[in-house]
Amino acid sequence: MNPVLARAVRIAIAATLGATAATASMAQNTGNELVLTEVTVTAQRTSASLQDVPISVTALSAEDIDRRQINNTLDVISKVPNLVGSNNVGLGSATSFFLRGVGQDESLATSDPAIGTYVDGVYIARQINNNAFLYDMDRIEVLRGPQGTLYGRNTSGGAVKVITRKPEDELKGYVDLSYGDYDAYSGRAMINAPISDTLSLRLNGFVLGQDEGYIKNLTTKEEIWAPEGYGARAQLRFQPNDDVDFTLAVEYADEEGTGLTGSDFARNTDRNLFTVVSGLREQFAETDQTAVTLGGTFKLGNVTVESITGWRDLNQRFLLDLSDAAPSQYILPHKSNHEQLSQEFVFSGEAGRVDWLAGVFYMDEKNRTENGDELFLFGGAVAANFRRDLRNDNESYGIFAEATFNLNDQWSFTAGGRQTEEKKTVNNTQFFVLPGGGPRNVGGNNYPGVPGGLVPLWGNPEILANGEPTKLDFSEFTPKLALQYRHNDDLLTYASYTEGFKSGGWNARVTDVRDFVAFQPETVKSMELGVKSEWMDDRLRANFTYFQADYDDFIISALNDAGRFVTINAAEVKIDGFEVELAFVAADGLDFFASLGQMDNEYKKLSGADFPKSNQVKRTPEMSYQLGFNWDVAVPGLGGSILTTGSFSHQDEYYNGLKNAAVELAPAIDLFDLSVGFRPDSGRWALTASCKNCGNEEYYHSTLNFGTLGFATQFPGLPRTWKLGFRYNFGAL
């Protein structure tokens, strides 16, 4: 189809979605006083109505999280336009977000993500544990597009903000239990209590387990990918007056059983995605994390000050076979520790018709990784055991400011900028492991690789001799300009220009010193046009966005001209598209929601890689959308209501590899989720039955295409699961 005609057809589809919702509402509810709930977000670092924020934001409330079965960050993906994501290859604890076509699927600490993840305002530097179990949430905000001014580095594609519930001044709590498919169970509990007039406490925790794995190993007869874990969070909130509000949170979580293997469909076409033949026994992945956060606000005269202090300590171990072959294997043993400390201050206020904010940010991160490559390929024709001791430290400083000039009651102009300074160091020692060292030790905190004598092969001196630095300094300025026009209380239009960058680093998952190369930051310049509107007496909300993003020094991981696998700045990329989000209250107890995302992409320039410029940018489906409803029906005879939530989501096919090989073409996905529950009028308890991927759609989202090594392994999404849940609330409702 002609590109111009294709774009017109897609816009017509989006317009039809909006027109359909509007027609239905006028036909069924003329004159009704029902209105949409106002949504408050902190996307611009201060609280504001979603409809007053001139940026693209998807907001999911606590009720949305509960009713749409959002159990972890991976579940957010189908709820947000142009958000693509999956488990990072082999790791159920990690989510690789790709938003508007940009993201990161390398989990080593020498490469940073392009989508920032924040928990209660604290930036999470490593994506290896960003798919943690969500419990006692207040809301989730997904900011689409570069956020370089207010959020800084590594948000060139956007940001995902997770906000937990804070302590309140009432005695209340709940117990939430579930049991489901694969003998899976979970429990969540919370108690909130006032301690004094100024102090309140909130304690909550979770436990989950699964006796059957999603994946069956036909060779070892083991079951793989059976998540289990536990965690707890304690929060103490101090509110001595209306001008001071601080919360101290201490949290611990331990999760395991999150390792998953893929299936080599190139050779095993008679099997399904959930059976493998790897000969490696006791494959596993586990993480434990401790976090302390102190955040809050106070007033200094007419200035509001927000302080966010965060400390996190994360440990990860895994042992995975990427090849799905027996006896051949490509095994990755891994053990790492990641510690980060961050501090941020944000000052905000008003000066006449100017709303302003300014802030400073500091983060120090230390990463220690022991990992390896254990090769037994082509039946043993290629056999070797490599191990590396990788240490890298990161320091980041930022200063930022933004001001909105309210020219009159309708026109506003925003200008801002951020200066970021980064210092990175790396120290790597590569070893060859001598054979005959005995069996691997997968228990405790031991390195899970095969032991043996270590023969140093190369390290920092050889890296420097090869012309590559072991220290990197980055300095980036990221501005923002925006113009908005308030037509009336229900209609806002805006145009914005923003820049952002994703940090540089090192290509460290290598065995040859020639491949240990540094890469520079990836930068983006983005333009956005948006409309935020409410119609029909505030019963229909319709928000539209058109965007265009131009990326320079686009970071890719691919085979270079010499046939070696490297991460390099190899491209200039243009990605543009549009997004639609709709919400409609049709009747008392009945509402609908819908969203649509569309993307076009092209490589404008490409060098140093072994694929043509005409290829599609990976993980950029042309179109994705979701349709859903919430329907609550009172049943007087039962003394309560039946609560039903259903959603259907579609995502077009996309290539998950740069080469656009046939094995890398992830199929289109159609997923249907359904939840039906009963809640008495008292609100004291609720009983729910639900399923996810109810149609049991079988699909894969990622491919490790190592044809030269004899395998191309595809990694599946979750199969159909169902569960029964019971919740009991006590104290104040």
Residues 6+ apart with CB under 8 A from 648: 626, 627, 628, 670, 671, 672
- pLDDT value of residue 562: 55
Domain ranges (residues) in the chain = 3-307+316-410+423-731
Q: What is the pLDDT of residue 1?
A: 41
Show Cβ contacts of residue 461 under 8 Å, excluding neighbours closer than 6 positions.
none
Q: 267 pLDDT band (50/70/90 cuts)?
A: low
pLDDT in the model for residue 18: 38
C-alpha 44, offset from chain centre: 19
* 540-559 vs 522-535, strand pairing mode: antiparallel
Residue 152 confidence (pLDDT) above 60: yes
Q: Is 302 exposed, middle or buried (0-12, 13-18, 19+ CB in 10 A)?
A: exposed
pLDDT-based confidence at residue 639 (cuts at 50, 70, 90): very high
Whether residue 330 contacts residue 276, with contact meaning beta carbons closer than 8 Å, is answered with no
> What's the mean pLDDT in 664-689?
96
The share of the chain scoring above pLDDT 70, in percent, equals 93
Structure confidence at residue 3 as a pLDDT band (50, 70, 90): very low
pLDDT averaged over every residue in the chain:
90
* Tokens 């939430």 -> residue: 176
Q: Does the structure show a pLDDT above 80 at 8?
A: no
Residue 620 main-chain phi, psi, to 5 deg: -130, 75
Question: What average pLDDT score do residues 705-722 get?
Answer: 87
The pLDDT of 700-725, averaged and rounded, is 88
In 12-90, at which residue ranges do the beta strands (DSSP E only) sit? 40-41, 48-49, 57-61, 83-88
Confidence of residue 27 (pLDDT cuts 50, 70, 90): very low
Cα separation of 94 and 204, whole Å? Answer: 23
**Both tokens assigned to 249:** 């949170």
- Higher pLDDT, residue 584 or 444: 584
Provide the pLDDT confidence category of residue 30 given band limits of 50, 70 and 90. very low
**In this predicted structure, what is the pLDDT of residue 259?**
87
pLDDT digits (tens, 9 = 90+) for 427-474: 999 999 998 888 888 888 899 999 999 999 999 999 999 999 999 999
What is the distance between the alpha carbons of residues 603 and 551, in angstroms, rounded to a whole number? 10
Q: Under CATH, which number does the domain 3-307+316-410+423-731 receive? A: 2.40.170.20
More confident residue, 713 or 671: 671
Read off the pLDDT band of 268 (50, 70, 90).
Answer: low
343-350 mean pLDDT = 97
Cis peptide before 327 (omega within 30 of 0): yes
pLDDT at 164: 96
pLDDT for 564 equals 62
pLDDT exceeds cutoff 80 at 208:
yes
Beta strands (DSSP E) in 55-198 are 57-61, 83-88, 91-99, 102-103, 115-119, 122-124, 137-144, 158-164, 172-180, 184-194
Query: Higher confidence at residue 34 or residue 339?
Result: 339
Residues 6+ apart with CB under 8 A from 246: 237, 238, 239, 294, 295, 296, 297, 298
Query: Residue 340: helix, strand or coil by DSSP?
Result: strand
pLDDT at 21: 34
- CA dist list (Å): 725 to 67, 88, 226, 427: 12, 29, 19, 49
**pLDDT of res. 252:** 97
The predicted-structure confidence for 109-120, as pLDDT tens digits, reads as follows: 999 999 999 999
Q: Amino acid letter at 654?
A: Y
pLDDT in the model for residue 608? 78
Q: Helix or strand or coil: residue 596?
A: strand
Q: Whole-angstrom Cα distance, residue 15 to residue 410?
A: 26
pLDDT value of position 90: 81
pLDDT at 381: 65
Q: What distance in Å separates the CA atoms of residue 154 and residue 127, rounded to the nearest whole number?
A: 11
